[in-house]
Amino acid sequence: MRRTGQESAIGTGALALLATFCLPGAARAAEHITLANGFDLVCHHHQIVDGKVRIYLKPSQPDYFELNPDEIAGYETVPDPIEAQPEPVASVAHPAATPVPKPISPDAHLTAEDLHQLLSKTSAEHHLDEDLLASVVKAESGGYARAVSRAGARGLMQLMPGTARQLGVQDSFAPEQNVQGGTAYLDALLTRYHDNIPLALAAYNAGPEAVDRYRGVPPYRETQAYVARVILEFNRRVIARRNAARVTSALAANRAASREFGRTMATSGNAGTGSD
């Protein structure tokens, strides 16, 4: 596939980040988290576990995702959001009601399987590497479908409202629409910059006008850090994918050798039982 498994390197400048961390109690008000890249998240609470910051979207322990401490600029406790009251349950006297299938919820952090299904389909349509898209999503939103940046970018791939309109995205918080639009935009940028991944990523972050003006990755610390972060994650995924392929190939070779050895031993045994 086009643009599959490409590895790049880019110099990274030190990114001065300010973060304050505290271990929350079992129950507390909601938290507003400011990320170092300028995005904002609202969650139930956070915890620091094994050097990682766990972001809990709901009180239940399994519903969380992890960030590195240096990816968070600060926390702020905010009043608990008012929960919507459930709709009255339909009377049993109306059995003809048909349940409506639910799409992927835009209010939750997508599971790895949810994200894989979205990205595998879209990457195949645009002939892009799924790991590249996954790396962009991780850098842009951390997989949180309702992420909103200070500049107003929204959703998994952080589309600005004007860009979303141009791409035909009606709801940037809908995971399917956002990924379709973001992938189409990244595909167009890769075509524009002749499959140069750093330039396409820089244009995705700072706009193609800035890349054209500086004839390369703009000298913006945020953009340079963004490009480096995506490429490092992409390279990590590519290496992991290759290692997994080697292990699978080795296991297959061992199984084939074992079968061949078994057939050889069976043949030898049959030959040895012949009558004199």
What are the residue numbers of the active site? 140
**SS3 label, residue 55:** strand
Residue at token pair 């990590």: 236
Cα–Cα nearest to 139, from 252, 271, 275, 38 = 38
- Backbone phi, psi, residue 86, to 5°: -65, 150
Alpha helices in the chain (DSSP H): 112-126, 130-141, 161-166, 175-192, 197-206, 208-214, 221-272
DSSP label at 69? G
Q: What phi-psi label fits residue 3: left (phi over 0), alpha (psi between -120 and 50 degrees) or beta?
A: left
End-to-end CA distance of the chain: 61
Q: What phi-psi label fits residue 260: left (phi over 0), alpha (psi between -120 and 50 degrees) or beta?
A: alpha
- Backbone phi, psi, residue 198, to 5°: -60, -40
Neighbours of 60 (CB within 10 A): 9
Total residue length of the chain: 276
Q: How far apart are CA 87 and CA 66, in angstroms?
A: 33
Per the CB < 8 A criterion, the answer to whether 230 and 222 are in contact is no
